[in-house]
Amino acid sequence: MTIATLPLQNDDDLPPRRSLSRIVLKRLLTKPAAVFGLVIILLFVAFALVPDLFSPHDPYAQSLIRRLKPPSFLDRGVDGYLLGTDHLGRDTLSRIIHGARTTLLVSLFAVVVSAVVGIWAGLVAGFFGGKTDAVILRLIDMQLAFPVVLLVIAIVAVVGPSLTNLIVLMGLSAWPRFARIVRGSVLSVRGLEYIEAARSIGAGKLRIMLRHILPNILSAIIVYASFELARMILLEATLSFLGLGVQPPTPTWGGMINDGKNYLSISWAVSLFPGVAIALIILAFNLLGDEIRDALDPQLSHD
């Protein structure tokens, strides 16, 4: 008998091949909350990608005759302006649709920036431990102790508001939370035998971090990123509301709420609908994040 043909017991009981991402997706699609979140997110992503396809009007077209109109389905509403108009007579719906691009772009890149910085910081802190860990933890504490909005006000006052500055600032304000999540996950994986095994075959520190630790904590990072995206959308809206974000006349949801705040007593619609848009997308990301977390739960993966 040759070695290669040695019989092996129990070798026919291997389960059929299933990829994890397919299982997760399949599980997500059976959950109403996840589907709801996914639909909302896809809708806004479509708005952001091709706003002209959806918006009924030019978001910049002003008309003083039809300013501060209520939604078209109410009294005094004007046909064709579904969600009414703002103080310059611009169509609110069109501006919400066009505003999705700025909001999603800024939030997404801010999350990417914070994830890149935070993942590295967390990996290094968790993997090396000791003094390195202590230093990074103190940096995290310092950053978290500093109010984000105050920081952005101070820095934007110096460098001026721009899309890039906004993304970088928002990203840097959020890295400590990422770093903490990643650090915690690294600590839970670092002591496992397959990390020892990687060391025993001579794998370097970088290889262990990137090939053995990172892939095994990625699901935690993905879940956290979806929550962080919601948080970033809110922060972007806050900064736009304060006039620190992308500057007018570019439509942003926060800026639109700000535009309407002086007219709340005569036309609440101007501020309400961008607010609804913000609430909807945040809800959608949170629902999706929750459901992804459940779907990735290893306790459920054997059903």
Partner 1 sequence: MTAPLLDVKGLKRHFPTESPLFGAKRFVKAVDGVDLAIGKGETLGLVGESGCGKSTLGRLIARLDEPTAGEIVFEGRDIARLDDRALLPVRQSIQMIFQNPFASLNPRMTVGAILEEPLIIHGKGDRSKRRRRVMDLLGQVGLRPDHVDRYPHEFSGGQRQRIGIARALALEPDLIVCDEPVSALDVSIQAQIINLLQRLQRELGLSYLFISHDLSVVEHISDRVAVMYLGRIVEEADAVEMYRRPLHPYTEALLSAHPEPDPLAVSREIILEGGVPSPVNPPAGCHFTTRCPYVQPRCSETTPPLVDHHPGHKARCLRLDEIEGNRLTEGARTVEHKS
- Residues from 42 through 101 that contact partner 1 (CB under 8 A): none
In the complex, least distance from residue 5 CB atom to partner 1, rounded to whole angstroms: 8
Question: What's the first-to-final CA gap in the chain, in angstroms?
Answer: 40
134 binds partner 1 (CB under 8 A): no
196 binds partner 1 (CB under 8 A): yes
Cis peptide before 249 (omega within 30 of 0): yes
With CB under 8 A as the contact rule, the residue among 62, 216, 247, 286 that binds partner 1 is 216
Smallest CA-to-CA distance from 282 within 109, 40, 51 is with 40
**Contact call for residue 3 and partner 1 (CB under 8 A):** yes
Window contacting partner 1 (CB under 8 A); options: 10-18, 121-129, 167-175, 241-249: 10-18
The residues near 208 (Cβ < 8 Å, ≥ 6 apart) are 127, 195, 198, 199
Residue 21: name the closest of 219, 216, 181, 212 by CA.
Answer: 219
Q: Does 160 bind partner 1 (CB under 8 A)?
A: no
Range in contact with partner 1 (rule: CB under 8 A) among 5-13, 36-44, 54-62, 116-124: 5-13
Part of the chain binding partner 1 (CB under 8 A), chosen from 101-109, 180-188, 209-217, 271-279 = 209-217
Tell me, by CB under 8 A, how many residues bind partner 1: 29
Alpha-carbon distance of 48 to 105, in angstroms, equals: 8
- Phi, psi dihedral angles at 55 (to 5 degrees): -75, 130
The residue within the footprint of partner 1, chosen from 56, 80, 204, 249 (CB under 8 A), is 204
In 3D space, the residue among 54, 83, 48, 78 whose CA is nearest the CA of residue 66 turns out to be 78
Closest CA to 212 of 202, 226, 223, 222: 202
Q: Does 207 bind partner 1 (CB under 8 A)?
A: yes
Nearer to partner 1, 16 or 160 (CB): 16
Q: Cα separation of 124 and 111, whole Å?
A: 19
190 binds partner 1 (CB under 8 A): no
Count H helices and E strands in the chain, helices first.
12, 0
Question: If binding is defined by CB under 8 A, does position 11 make contact with partner 1?
Answer: yes
Minimum distance of partner 1 from residue 207's CB (angstroms): 7
Q: Rule CB under 8 A: which residues touch partner 1?
A: 3-4, 6-11, 13-15, 17, 192-194, 196-204, 207, 211-212, 215-216
